[in-house]
Chain A
């Protein structure tokens, strides 16, 4: 199997590449954590793309049950069919709805299975998937059949750290924490997303960006995806772009800051800091 080494639209640092390759080689699920907006979900898409496999995503919500990933027994439509006298009602297999895991296990070629934001689910959720992820098989009680993976899928699990995951589950996974990218990596990422923007604009934007991230007391630090959005806005808006490059002292709030800061306390904090900054000057 070929090695994963990032792609033309996703910059993967070497340690991330190694983690992915180790997980692929040893057929273990890879658990990815990191600040929001560092590209955890996108990783699965890019792994699938660069290895030429198809991707099955299972997005987890607070109400998702592990069973839904395997299969669901649609009792309501069977009840309805029975009252309407439908012939289908005699075969219970007609009412078994396949889940994402079943889909991934029985696919014709190996697939990448993304279990997105596993921490959103109930605390028991990961425990209910232990055997399924370990042995890659499960038992369907209604039809008395065992579904076994034809090809073991490459499993990538993301978490935002909202819940502690159980130890037994962690032991079965490989783990990688996506660190917030450094300046050089960020430049590469910007290049991948926006192609050729003027170096000057990137430098200034990164200055402002890291300034804000380092500000004490900011509640929601802007992340990579917000930086990319902000630059998109700046490029569309000629005036604010010039304002940023010329670094006007009077206006210490960066133009279009709304793309970077997502709550009013942070905006107030920045305004206050700008005000104090001006007073010191004057």
Chain B
């Protein structure tokens, strides 16, 4: 039952497991929904999908899988004269009657029976439990109640509007690959927390106090410990100006998320590629620069380095001495990037450009080789992957 549907949903990238599929079958067996496509859609979504980011994938899989069935319905409707299906009987079944209804295992079988009945039946029919007509409990026809029935020529779904919710794709924006807001970035960055207790012991450790007191047979023995805080240290490098202008808002959001999340956070700016120096204030970038040599000396190797840039420039800005557009650099950008990578243990590059365009820019290909694959798109899933790499 529903094995193909389950496989289709999994193939669409919704991470659902056997357990959830069994739940869905159990829910159908417990009669949570009746013969309604809309109800089945909501039920399957409730049971199988556990993250609203996956709703859109589910919607697409659902639409693709059930397209066949919707169109079968139309063909059949054309075969049957409409007068048979006038709205005459509206029968509501009790639980008992429902269980007495014959269960048909799959659609194929149901369709075959339908055609067989169509051949046998020649006149209009209402009520009853075998012939095609209205208001009955036969699996075929309209306005009736059969758990696995096929609806023929009914004006809209009786229990709901017939608008197919899954075709509206309301949840498209929630997909994890879309770019992100401040709050979401903060949540992603939080995974980079490494709690540590160091510094002065100025917090009462209740548990150890009790244990120590018990060991001394009731004589109070106070135990102190240091406060727990996030020990992760982060170094940010922002590409600024030129081709980065369209991404200013995105970078701003990332920056404000980072600033509130980490106690030890330092940031620097660069243009296009990192050379021998970077700067902290854009107004005074010509005067107030920090040598990269100074950065090695100031920040230890356990700083996590995040570089944010689109990596789009002329290839010689990476490969050749003197390639920079702003000044004459003695050594090539690639040399400086290599040094940065060899000093710090963890370095990632976040790119605000959509991943599908990465292969079309030569400099980007070069930089990705230099970063050994640790370039991630600046989207929620990209940031999550990057943080995963940094925290390992």
Contacts and interface: CB of A to CB of B under 8 A. Distances in A.
Contacts of A76: 206, 210
A135 to B, nearest CB: 14
A25 B20 contact: no
B391 to A, nearest CB: 12
Interface string A151-172: 0000000000111100100111
Interface stretch (B43-51, B147-155, B357-365): B43-51
Contacts of B160: 14
B46 A171 contact: no
13 contacts: A18-B32, A18-B33, A18-B46, A19-B42, A22-B46, A79-B214, A83-B218, A162-B187, A163-B190, A172-B19, A174-B23, A175-B46, A175-B51
A177 interface: yes
A79 B218 contact: yes
B371 to A, nearest CB: 26
Nearest to B184: A161
A21 B32 contact: yes
Contacts of A19: 42-43, 46
Interface string A55-85: 0000000000000000000011001001100
Closest 6 CB pairs between A and B? A177-B52, A170-B50, A15-B42, A19-B46, A175-B50, A22-B32
Interface string B294-325: 00000000000000000000000000000000
State the main secondary structure of chain B at its contact with A: helix
B269 interface: no
A26 B30 contact: yes
Contacts of B19: 171-172
A75 B47 CA distance: 42
Nearest to B160: A14
A25 B27 contact: yes
B210 A171 contact: no
A174 B46 contact: yes
Interface in A16-35: 18-19, 21-23, 25-26, 28, 31, 33
A179 B210 contact: no
B286 interface: no
B192 to A, nearest CB: 12
B15 interface: yes
Interface string B268-301: 0000000000000000000000000000000000
B74 interface: no
A187 interface: no
B27 A26 contact: yes
B198 interface: no
A171 B182 CA distance: 28
A33 B27 contact: no
A33 B52 contact: yes
A176 interface: yes
B211 to A, nearest CB: 9
Interface string B89-100: 000000000000
Contact of A171 (B20, B26, B213): B20
Nearest to B210: A75
A79 B210 contact: yes
B78 interface: no
Which of B32, B38, B39, B206 is most buried by chain A, counting CB atoms within 10 A of its CB?
A: B32
A177 B15 CA distance: 17
Interface string B38-73: 110011001101111001000000000000000000
A162 B42 CA distance: 25
Which of B46, B183, B190 is most buried by chain A, counting CB atoms within 10 A of its CB?
A: B46
B30 A25 contact: yes
Interface in B206-221: 206, 210, 213-214, 218
B33 A174 contact: no
Nearest to A217: B249
Contacts of A15: 42, 165
Nearest to A15: B42
Nearest to A30: B46
Contacts of A179: 170-171
Interface string B182-212: 1100010010000000000000001000100
B49 A175 contact: yes
A173 B46 CA distance: 9
A82 B30 contact: no
B42 A18 contact: yes
B260 interface: no
B304 to A, nearest CB: 19
B52 to A, nearest CB: 4
Which of A14, A18, A170 is most buried by chain B, counting CB atoms within 10 A of its CB?
A: A18
Contacts of B213: 79
Nearest to B33: A18
Contacts of A82: 218
B17 interface: yes
Contacts of A177: 52, 55, 171
A28 B19 CA distance: 12
Nearest to A76: B210
Nearest to B187: A162
A163 B187 contact: yes
B169 to A, nearest CB: 12
Which of B23, B160, B206 is most buried by chain A, counting CB atoms within 10 A of its CB?
A: B23
Contacts of A14: 38, 42, 160
Nearest to B159: A14
A84 B27 CA distance: 57
A147 to B, nearest CB: 23
